Structure 1
Amino acid sequence: MATARLAPGVALVTVPGQGLAVRTPDGEFLRVDTGTAAPDTVVAHLTRAPGRPEDTAPGSPHHGPAATGSGPSAPGVVDSELAVLVTAFGDAGYLARDGDRVRGPLAGHTVVVLGDDVLTEPLTRFVRAEGGEVRHATRLTDLPDEASPRAVVWCLDSPAPHGLWDEADRLPARGVGWLRCHREGTTAWLEPLAAGPGDVTSADVRLRRLAATPAHRELAAYWAGSCTDDTGPAHTAASAALTASLLTADLIAWAAGRGGSRRLRRVDLRDLTVHEHTVLPVPAVAPLTR
């Protein structure tokens, strides 16, 4: 019988007095009718490593001399029951067979990363760990012309200079995912991922933030650079890892086809608390006429 293995996140649970159950990756428990096959035989078949000595050890179900048994516990019957169970597990998506290549959620996606090393380095590691390909750039003109879907992530350990992201805000209209973050003092701002026309852009976030504060003139001047140098605490390894993890989660959602987001997040770098706010795109307004 072909060797089969449990898929990642799937577990077999032996329940006292109840037999075998399977725990799905979503945390649901399902009873398993093993028929004439003993639950421990099913567990052994689905969890042992290929070629282990017990596969051919005397007394094992697959050892040659033992195959001469008869009755409901005969190896031939057990193998038949196992084959039925393996098929059922495979049909339900609970098996990962030998030779299958485990694909990460970002496999097949190229992510272009720009910005400050303190953030781009952990982000690069996380994206690659999830199967994505990372390209680094310093300008939007450096973007490679890839045929596969891709996203652009721009990370700053400082406020975003006025106009820096204006050109990048046009990326979603080209079908490119657009994600960014920056730091203002002790707060890191993670803006929503935009993936198509009409999604929330950096310009939308700025307009919404200006509209939400009575200090809109001061905030606009701060963004324009009319302020003293920022001497506040920059990102630490922990806050950078948290920020990169949240950005990676957004990329995974985008790669899964969930499109853009309307979630603006603030990370307090002093205690790593995360606050979320819903933000909507700003409708286009016709110019005033006399």
Structure 2
Amino acid sequence: MNTPRLSAGTALVTVPGRGLALRTPDGTFLRVDTGDVPPRSLLRRLGAGPDPDPAPDAAVPDPEPEQEPDPGTDRLVAAFEEAGYATRAPDSVPPPGTAAPLAGTAVLLLGDPVLTRPVARLLRTAGAAPEPVAPGRLTERATGAVTRTAVVWCLDGPVPPGLWDPADRLSRDGALWARCHREGARAWIEPTARGPYGVTAADIRLRRLAATPAHRELAAYWAGSRTADTGPRHTEVTAAHTAALLVHDLLAAARPGPDPVPPVLRGVDLRDLGTTRHPVLPVPPCAPFPGPPGEPGNPR
């Protein structure tokens, strides 16, 4: 049987005059009532070692002899395990889902090298083996994969009209669909679409148009009625920052279960890396606009 130990991110703290406290991975401190069990016994059982060195002016107690685990200590250790604060998993086996969250996922990567290079490096650390793919073969490769598929598309410039429209359907077919692009000095990292109700690029455009009084001007900008893009383009630093946020969102979407928070659109100012967050939701389907008077279904 493996020796119990504290779970990753947790720590037992000896508080002067108050016994033991547990610091959880999120920084919360919980009081530990050991009852009639000596705190040192619990520390030894969980591999936390002896008490910290006493203050120089404190009396040093005689060392206690080593004792066999007693039922009281066993009950405390079992309570720690039940709450998830202790584990018996071997050191070489990390908790499920923490070592390589994208292992076994086919990641198809497209876009500009200044962004795809740092994204690929981060994806490999998450257990993925990103593969470059041409836009014309994206649908074929994504829908023909036998394993879970993720598509990551990064652009160092505005999205050409209609470029992402075919890819928007991939999330409805089961692929994770992550993307980012730059408009002037701001990079936009769109939330990863997952499943039939994921937030697509078309949803993002509609939400952004609805949120600005300059919706006609923004629509014309996206349609290509603009002068040539003059940057500022991504640097190595801004690309690394953008790639980290993009892969973070992809990892969150790859976790099983419901999304813990609403999808978030991130905007990164490339001049100072200031980042904004905008929660967004998919745009529900609606009935088409009625046609001119006199057409069938619209008599007036």
- Give the TM-score taking structure 1 as reference length: 0.78
Shift of 1:174: 0.8
Matched residue, 2:12:
12
Q: Given the superposition, is the C-alpha separation of residues 208 and 82 from structure 1 closer, same or farther in structure 2, using an over 3 Å criterion?
A: closer
Contact 1:188–1:269, Cα closer than 8 Å, also in 2: yes
Q: Which has the higher helix share?
A: 1
User: 2:212, 2:32 → 1: CA distance?
Assistant: 58
Q: Given the superposition, is the C-alpha separation of residues 5 and 11 from structure 1 closer, same or farther in structure 2, using an over 3 Å criterion?
A: same
User: 1:198, 1:83 → 2: CA distance?
Assistant: 47
Matched residue, 2:80:
89
Q: Given the superposition, is the C-alpha separation of residues 95 and 150 from structure 1 closer, same or farther in structure 2, using an over 3 Å criterion?
A: farther
Q: Given the superposition, is the C-alpha separation of residues 255 and 263 from structure 1 closer, same or farther in structure 2, using an over 3 Å criterion?
A: same
Letter in 1 for 2:265: L
Structure 2 matches for 1:59-70, cutoff 5 A?
A: none
In terms of mean alpha carbon deviation, does 182-191 or 253-262 score higher? 253-262
Matched residue, 1:67:
none
1:127 matched to 2:161: no
Gaps of 5+ in 2: 50-61, 296-300
Alpha-carbon displacement from aligned partner over 1:216-270 (angstroms, at most 9, x marks no partner): 4443343333433322211123322222222223223312333495432211111
Q: In structure 2, the residue corresponding to 1:267 is in which secondary structure?
A: strand
Matched residue, 1:30:
30
Matched residue, 1:75:
67
Q: Percent identity?
A: 52
Contact 1:108–1:148, Cα closer than 8 Å, also in 2: no
Q: In structure 2, the residue corresponding to 1:160 is in which secondary structure?
A: coil
User: 1:199, 1:264 → 2: CA distance?
Assistant: 13
Shift of 1:187: 0.5
Q: Given the superposition, is the C-alpha separation of residues 144 and 5 from structure 1 closer, same or farther in structure 2, using an over 3 Å criterion?
A: farther
Matched residue, 2:52:
none
Q: In structure 1, the residue corresponding to 2:151 is in which secondary structure?
A: strand
Matched residue, 1:106:
101
User: 1:258, 1:123 → 2: CA distance?
Assistant: 25
User: 2:7, 2:154 → 1: CA distance?
Assistant: 35
Contact 1:112–1:137, Cα closer than 8 Å, also in 2: yes
Contact 2:143–2:173, Cα closer than 8 Å, also in 1: no
Shift of 1:13: 0.7
Q: In structure 2, the residue corresponding to 1:47 is in which secondary structure?
A: coil
Cα RMSD (Å): 3.1
User: 2:35, 2:212 → 1: CA distance?
Assistant: 67
User: 1:2, 1:216 → 2: CA distance?
Assistant: 62
User: 1:212, 1:121 → 2: CA distance?
Assistant: 33
Matched residue, 2:273:
272
